[in-house]
């Protein structure tokens, strides 16, 4: 049996239906094409394990060296004692961060997470072909679990009339909901908010049809 990813387990089947229904309801009043997308992480962050291993091993070796050195009648500053503690602590921490990806979060800067989420969201916009809608009105609601970040990207047709700042309240609703473990309700609310904003500038058209997926989970 194929193992489900963190993103695939984040919403139950019933919650996924609720989200898809929320997209359908929002699209009943706007020609905009909404696509929520959920991913486990926006980047592999290979340096996070190195940073974590170095930090934990350095602190552990600095604190432990004097105690271990005394047991062997050595100077507290003996470099070999320090290395004897540093190396296994580094390897253990590095290994734990690799097998428990959530630990990476502690060794990433806020700006680093913001940058990677935004870059990955832009890449996903093109990978999932949101730019191929008839009226250039696709809009991606991108959520990255490791970073606990969300980002909303609209196609050129929408960007001409609605500035990026308009989506920030919806983004805040999503991230706050994830922190409170109310992710389904929060995402459905954010979808409705985005739909309300779009309705004013892009009302539903008589020939409107659904061109994109209502939910993507990677």
Q: Where are the alpha helices (DSSP H) in the chain?
A: 6-10, 13-27, 46-71, 79-99, 110-127, 156-159, 168-179, 183-201
If 0-12 CB within 10 Å is exposed, 13-18 middle and 19+ buried, where does residue 188 land?
A: buried
Q: Is the pTM of this model over 0.85?
A: yes
Query: What was the pLDDT predicted at 145?
Result: 96
Q: Which domains does the chain have, with CATH numbers?
A: 6-44+108-217 (3.10.310.50), 46-106 (no CATH)
Query: What was the pLDDT predicted at 206?
Result: 80
Whole-number mean pLDDT of the chain? 93
Q: Summarize pLDDT for 10-65 with one digit per residue, the tens.
A: 999 999 999 999 999 999 999 999 999 999 999 999 999 999 999 999 999 999 99
Query: What was the pLDDT predicted at 207?
Result: 78
What sign results for the dihedral spanned by CA atoms 17, 130, 5, 45? negative
Which of 73-82, 89-98, 148-157 comes out lowest in average pLDDT? Answer: 73-82
Q: Summarize pLDDT for 182-191 with one digit per residue, the tens.
A: 999 999 999 9
Q: CA 137, CA 135: separation in Å to the nearest integer?
A: 5
**Mean pLDDT throughout 95-103?**
94
- 3 falls in which pLDDT band (50, 70, 90)? low
Length of the chain, in residues: 218
- 5 falls in which pLDDT band (50, 70, 90)? confident
Query: What was the pLDDT predicted at 76?
Result: 81
Q: pLDDT at residue 125 above 80?
A: yes
Query: What was the pLDDT predicted at 1?
Result: 47
- 73 falls in which pLDDT band (50, 70, 90)? confident
């Amino acid at each position: 049996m194929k193992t489900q990813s963190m993103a695939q387990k984040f919403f139950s089947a019933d919650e996924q239906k609720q989200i898809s229904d929320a997209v359908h309801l929002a699209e009943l009043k706007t020609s905009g094409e909404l696509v929520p997308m959920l991913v486990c992480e926006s980047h592999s962050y290979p340096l996070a394990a190195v940073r974590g291993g170095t930090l934990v091993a350095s602190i552990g070796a600095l604190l432990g060296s004097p105690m271990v050195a005394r047991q062997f009648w050595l100077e507290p500053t003996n470099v070999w004692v320090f290395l004897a503690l540093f190396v296994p602590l580094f390897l253990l921490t590095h290994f734990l961060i690799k097998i428990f990806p959530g630990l990476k979060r502690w060794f990433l800067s806020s700006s680093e997470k913001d940058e990677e989420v935004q870059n990955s969201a832009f890449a996903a916009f093109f990978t999932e072909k949101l730019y191929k809608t008839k009226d250039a009105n696709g809009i991606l609601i991108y959520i990255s679990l490791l970073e606990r970040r969300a980002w909303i990207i609209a196609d050129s047709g929408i960007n001409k009339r609605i500035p990026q700042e308009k989506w920030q309240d919806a983004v805040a609703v999503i991230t706050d909901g994830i922190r409170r473990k109310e992710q389904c309700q929060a995402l459905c609310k954010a979808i409705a908010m985005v739909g309300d904003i779009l309705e004013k500038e892009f009302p539903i058209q008589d020939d409107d049809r659904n061109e994109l997926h209502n939910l993507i989970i990677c």
